[in-house]
Structure 1
């Protein structure tokens, strides 16, 4: 009963205060559930979904509820939305999806959740990259371990810049222990170390020119 009253009060609040006069009840409901997700009002969201609210409601930037929850690092909300059928692959105007963002942000538990609920590997970010490529760039070791060893994940996908996950780890990394470990993970997972960038330079050549001796050692051994 209390959850229902909270939902009604939320709807009335947005209807009277923030909704435009010409908005219909469906549009008001969408605005309300978006705000409830942003404010981590789990009971309100759950009640709204039970009453037929769209679990894939989007804001003005086409971010669905699950993408908003992912941006907020709200795993509890993400699990609630996924359990109600939220689309882990729905992309916004920037081509971010919950799955792609989770990989890029190093949100390990989100990545696991989305992989278990239909994450697609043939949808790419605005750089035409996978979830793995920015994870390598940013040093998210645990996410790299998961994705590099996920069956059928395109470990050697080349993005719009002409870089694979390995190339990104070398070119945009700093050669530290974190990036040495990432390169080792990728090599152990079977990545192709010989795919060059758009200038024909390989990851090994980049590593040598940058003085990344630890990475050079791994790639030469391979």
Structure 2
């Protein structure tokens, strides 16, 4: 339902709706070398191929590196092996997603934790919306991911090309439920700016009121939002 709500909101605004695309079964079946080993999580094979000179950041037809593939597949030890071998954690695939944003959108806290521990950045501008991993996680209500990204220094008040911040997306693309409330609470606690408006001049408090999200309204009012 959350995905459907996002698509309807973006379509109504005349905006593109395509998001990150994991490898399809046919692509996975055709993978060879590092991409195949990354998909399987076969660390010994990865190490053999890398030692033999396989390029760690080779790409498939969609611009995915083995690191992207391992992240999509939640193959954490493969992620670790690839980063330790020099994989570029800031590399964007053709949809402009990096590994951190892929893990964030998937609500994959464990893979995200591995990436951040290995030095991947939570600060990159990603996606066709010129957003961040934090904005993506906030609109999906991935509160645990949001807390990890905040701790890793994600920019709290980045404004994407929809003119939305993480706070705004947690409201306008959220369902007002417990996880989106927890997401908003984490952003407020971290010091996110609650007075940044959307393209129509509406600030988070007004947006929450318009949607009847009483718990979010209370959080915002308690934090001094106007």
Shorter-chain TM band:
0.7 to 0.9
**Runs of 4+ more than 3 Å apart:** none
Contact 2:129 2:160 in 1 (8 A): yes
TM-score, normalised relative to structure 1? 0.81
> Are residues 1:145 and 2:147 paired?
yes
C-alpha deviation, 1:177, in angstroms:
1.5
C-alpha deviation, 1:116, in angstroms:
2.9
Change (3 A) 1:41 1:122: closer
C-alpha deviation, 1:207, in angstroms:
0.6
- The root-mean-square deviation of aligned C-alpha atoms, in Å, is 1.7
Aligned to 1:109: 110
Contact 2:80 2:115 in 1 (8 A): no
List runs of 5+ in structure 2 lacking aligned partners.
1-29
C-alpha deviation, 1:127, in angstroms:
0.9
Question: 2: CA distance between counterparts of 1:111 and 1:185?
Answer: 17
C-alpha deviation, 1:68, in angstroms:
0.6
Aligned to 1:75: 76
C-alpha deviation, 1:42, in angstroms:
2.5
Contact 2:90 2:124 in 1 (8 A): no
C-alpha deviation, 1:31, in angstroms:
4.3
Aligned to 1:4: none
Contact 1:70 1:101 in 2 (8 A): yes
Aligned to 2:36: 35
Aligned to 2:128: 126
Question: 2: CA distance between counterparts of 1:144 and 1:40?
Answer: 26
C-alpha deviation, 1:122, in angstroms:
3.6
C-alpha deviation, 1:161, in angstroms:
0.8
TM-score, normalised relative to structure 2? 0.80
Question: 2: CA distance between counterparts of 1:77 and 1:61?
Answer: 20
Contact 1:157 1:165 in 2 (8 A): yes
Aligned to 2:16: none
List runs of 5+ in structure 1 lacking aligned partners.
1-17, 19-29
Moved more, 110-119 or 87-96: 110-119
C-alpha deviation, 1:114, in angstroms:
2.2
Aligned to 1:157: 158
Aligned to 1:201: 202
> Are residues 1:136 and 2:138 paired?
yes
Bigger Rg, structure 1 or 2: 1
Question: 2: CA distance between counterparts of 1:117 and 1:74?
Answer: 15
Moved more, 115-124 or 41-50: 115-124
Moved more, 110-119 or 129-138: 110-119
Contact 1:66 1:81 in 2 (8 A): yes
Where relative contact order (Cα < 8 A, 6+ residues apart) is larger, the structure is 2
C-alpha deviation, 1:202, in angstroms:
0.8
